Amino acid sequence: MDANSNRPVLEVRGLTKRFSGLTAVKNLSFDLRAGEIFGLIGPNGSGKSTAMKAIMGIERPTAGDVIFQGENIAGLPAHKIARKGFGMVFQHSRPLNRQTVLENIMVALLPDSLFMLFADRGLTERAQWIANRVGLGAVMDRRPPTLPFADLRRLELAKAIARDPKVVLVDEPFAGLTLAEVGTFSELIRSFRDEGDHGHRTPDGGRSHIPRRKHRRPARTQDRAEGFRHGISTLTSPEPANRA
Amino acid sequence: MGTFFKSRLFWIALGVVVAASTLPLYVSGYILGLLTVAYYFGVFAMAWDLLFGFAGEVNFGPTFLIGVGAYTAGILNNQYGWSVYLCIILGALASVIAGFVLALPALRVRGPYFGLTTLVAVLILQNFIVVFADLTGGEIGLTIPDVITIDAGANYWIALGFMTISAVILYGLSQSPVGLVLQASGQDPVQAGALGFNIVKHKLAAFVVSAFFSGLSGALLVFYFGTASVGTVVDVAVGVQVIVAAVLGGRRTVLGAALGAIFLIVAGEFLRPTGELATFIVSTVALLVILFFPNGFLGSALAHGARQ
């Protein structure tokens, strides 16, 4: 453990997102510490996905601060937030169907440059390593349309963790999975956290101790949970979140 | 890239280009002229496919980019008598600038609005040409004093060489890491953003590349025709032909777009004895292919090859 563990890696303060009259997220505050798995739970429509999108910069927050390692990143565009060390696993995925699983993972590893005309060897090796790590080793040369649903979810996870993010946001990680798959997936998410804590994944760089995810449902996976209890009455509901 | 040179597609493409380059030795000037125009159209279609197939943006105004390149080159030659090559390069650059100016605001709007913006751009250009007839030749067309060469064989080789080089660059780009990022941006912009890619930057770059090749090809075409007119390089119908060619050949294949363009031009010409029916027949075939083989000629062939 190092100094980072004293201070929360991510501090969300008073995060609010309004869509012309409809308040989807109201005054959400929580802290996220290194190595912690933190869940947002609540009924459909209570604003969990919107909260994550606002943190990730996909939706611009109406108000509030998102402080990542001491820097307020609220309002930055998604690609900048991603490059700071965030990854997001989406509920619905649309992978590149003409490319192989390996190439899909490689996309996530590419720099945001217009002049990257040739992929280097290290990139391929890194993508293979990630594919093996999430359990896609046997299918990395196949194309996404031929994969079962659970493997597509693994692919999404692989892309989100590819660049060793410090915070991983997982939206509905278990939607559509069988009970057995939920167990495997849960274990996978935990193992990333644990590896991250011990710095296994980047022995060279020495950073990135803390892949951590927030997700909801099966409460077993998460260390703490944040309740969202407003549903349809979002508009008028009182402060949704009591800090856990 | 390494695997591409070993692939069947590469050898087939190479064989086709070599065979095509021998045509001037034994076919008539009439057919050469037809193919010369078809090859320039092939570049229009390939440049368009980079935007639609990869960036996922439907550009309804390919002729805006083509027209700006063609008319800039033509006007400079007509008014100032500058050298053909200088005019062609300046035409391509004008197209890049026009494309950039158009795409910068257009890419900020989502979905169908991008397409509508590009369509309006064509109409504005068309109006501009008609209104400023002193400069542009208006509806009659612009006479271009110089030509690259009058030799049919040389013109044919220039067009073939230009199409081949454009194909290599555009195809190479589409298969490179930037092409992959572009494709990811087109497929799922939200996710590509969350993966750390600046979508607008990548799409803008694709638009600029597309504009460069469209404008260059448009400029070369008017120096081949010796005239520039709204009906040949700006009209919405020409743009539709470019789009149909690209979709017919196969979305996301780049090379297929060139095949589609050659097919459209050649088929249209061979059906000319049927009079007005020619356009009808070609359009019907195109419609049927799009409805029943949405992957187009090359897309279907590649999918068939992959299954075996």
**Mean pLDDT in consecutive groups of 10 residues from the start of chain A, 244 residues:** 64 89 86 82 82 91 91 93 91 85 92 82 89 91 90 90 87 81 84 58 28 39 53 27 35
Is residue A26 within a helix (H) or strand (E), and if so which, with residue range?
strand A22-32
Could you tell me if residue A121 is inside a domain?
no
- Any CB–CB contact under 8 A between A78 and chain B? yes
- How far off is chain B from A244, nearest CA to CA, in Å? 27
- Rounded to whole angstroms, how far apart are CA atoms A77 and A16? 17
- Among chain B residues, the shortest Cα distance to A59 is held by B190
- How far off is chain B from A114, nearest CA to CA, in Å? 6
| Sign of torsion over alpha carbons B219, B220, B226, B229 | negative
Cβ-nearest to A119 among B173, B177, B190: B177
- Rounded to whole angstroms, how far apart are CA atoms B305 and B32? 32
pLDDT for position B97: 96
CA A59 to centroid of chain Cα atoms: 15
With 0-12 CB in 10 A as exposed, 13-18 as middle and 19+ as buried, what is B190?
middle
A29 is in which domain, residue-wise? Answer: 10-94+160-236
Interface mutation target, options A55, A81, A106, A107, chain B, most CBs of B under 10 Å: A107
- Rounded to whole angstroms, how far apart are CA atoms A179 and A220? 13
Interface mutation target, options B110, B175, B182, B190, chain A, most CBs of A under 10 Å: B190
Look at B180 and A96 and tell me if their CB atoms are within 8 Å: yes
Nearest Cα neighbor of A125 from A145, A106, A111 is: A106
CB A165 within 8 A of CB A85: yes
Instruction: List, as one string, the DSSP characters of B24-73.
Output: GGTS-HHHHHHHHHHHHHHHHHHHHHIIIIIS----S-HHHHHHHHHHHH
- How far off is chain A from B64, nearest CA to CA, in Å? 25
In chain A, residues with a C-beta closer than 8 Å to the C-beta of B199 are 79
Cβ-nearest to B178 among A77, A87, A117: A117
- How far off is chain B from A47, nearest CA to CA, in Å? 18
Could you tell me if residue A48 is inside a domain?
yes
**Cα Rg of chain B, angstroms:** 19
Could you tell me if residue A16 is inside a domain?
yes
Look at A58 and B193 and tell me if their CB atoms are within 8 Å: yes
pLDDT for position B280: 84
Look at A117 and B173 and tell me if their CB atoms are within 8 Å: yes
Rounded to the nearest 5°, which phi and psi values hold at B221?
-65, -45
Match 């994969």 to its residue by tokens: A147
CA contacts within 13 A on the Cβ side of A137: 6
- Rounded to whole angstroms, how far apart are CA atoms A161 and A164? 5
Cβ-nearest to A118 among B1, B193, B201: B1
B239-274 residues labelled b (16+ CB within 10 A) or e (exposed): bebbbbbbbbbbbbbbbbbbbbbbbbbbebbebeee
Distances (CA, A) of B242 to B35, B38, B123, B249: 15, 11, 16, 11
> What is the tally of structural domains in chain A?
1
CB A175 within 8 A of CB A91: yes
Look at B184 and A107 and tell me if their CB atoms are within 8 Å: yes
How many CB pairs (< 8 A) connect A and B? 83
Residues of chain B with pLDDT under 50: 1-2
Look at A77 and B194 and tell me if their CB atoms are within 8 Å: no
Taking each helix axis from N to C terminus, what angle separates B29-49 and B152-175, rounded to the nearest 10 degrees? 20
With 0-12 CB in 10 A as exposed, 13-18 as middle and 19+ as buried, what is B56?
buried
Nearest Cα neighbor of B249 from B9, B20, B58, B45 is: B45
- How far off is chain A from B201, nearest CA to CA, in Å? 8
Could you tell me if residue A65 is inside a domain?
yes
CB B279 within 8 A of CB B238: no
Look at B194 and A88 and tell me if their CB atoms are within 8 Å: yes
Interface mutation target, options A50, A113, A153, chain B, most CBs of B under 10 Å: A113
Cβ neighbours around A145 below 10 Å, total: 9
**Whole-model pTM above 0.90?**
no
Could you tell me if residue A105 is inside a domain?
no
Could you tell me if residue A182 is inside a domain?
yes
CA contacts within 13 A on the Cβ side of B107: 24
Look at A90 and B190 and tell me if their CB atoms are within 8 Å: yes
pLDDT for position A226: 59
> What does the block give as tokens for B25?
């030795």
- Any CB–CB contact under 8 A between A76 and chain B? no
Amino acid making up residue A22 = L
- How far off is chain A from B174, nearest CA to CA, in Å? 10
Cβ-nearest to B194 among A82, A94, A106: A82
> What does the block give as tokens for A172?
């509905």
Could you tell me if residue A78 is inside a domain?
yes
Largest CA distance in chain A: 55
Distances (CA, A) of A237 to A2, A101, A234: 40, 44, 5
Could you tell me if residue A151 is inside a domain?
no
- How far off is chain A from B93, nearest CA to CA, in Å? 19
Angle in degrees, CA B127, B129, B130, rounded to 5:
65
Rounded to the nearest 5°, which phi and psi values hold at A45?
80, 10
Cβ neighbours around B3 below 10 Å, total: 8
pLDDT for position A213: 38
CA B215 to centroid of chain Cα atoms: 9
CB A213 within 8 A of CB A86: no
Distances (CA, A) of A188 to A41, A147, A153, A177, A211: 20, 19, 12, 14, 12
Nearest Cα neighbor of A35 from A211, A180, A233 is: A211
- Rounded to whole angstroms, how far apart are CA atoms B264 and B260? 6
Looking up residue A77, the CATH number of its domain turns out to be 3.40.50.300
Look at B178 and A113 and tell me if their CB atoms are within 8 Å: yes
Instruction: List, as one string, the DSSP characters of B208-236.
Output: HHHHHHHHHHHHHHHHHHTEE-HHHHTSH
In chain A, residues with a C-beta closer than 8 Å to the C-beta of B191 are 88, 90, 93-94, 159
- B interface with A, Cβ–Cβ < 8 A, is 1, 172-173, 176-178, 180-181, 183-184, 187-188, 190-191, 193-199, 201-202, 205, 252
In chain B, residues with a C-beta closer than 8 Å to the C-beta of A77 are 193, 198
Interface mutation target, options A73, A99, A110, A163, chain B, most CBs of B under 10 Å: A110
Rounded to the nearest 5°, which phi and psi values hold at A40?
-105, 120
Look at A79 and B172 and tell me if their CB atoms are within 8 Å: no
Angle in degrees, CA A227, A231, A235, rounded to 5:
110
- Rounded to whole angstroms, how far apart are CA atoms B53 and B260? 14
In chain A, residues with a C-beta closer than 8 Å to the C-beta of B194 are 56, 58, 78-79, 82, 86-88, 90, 160
Which 8-state DSSP code applies to residue A138? G
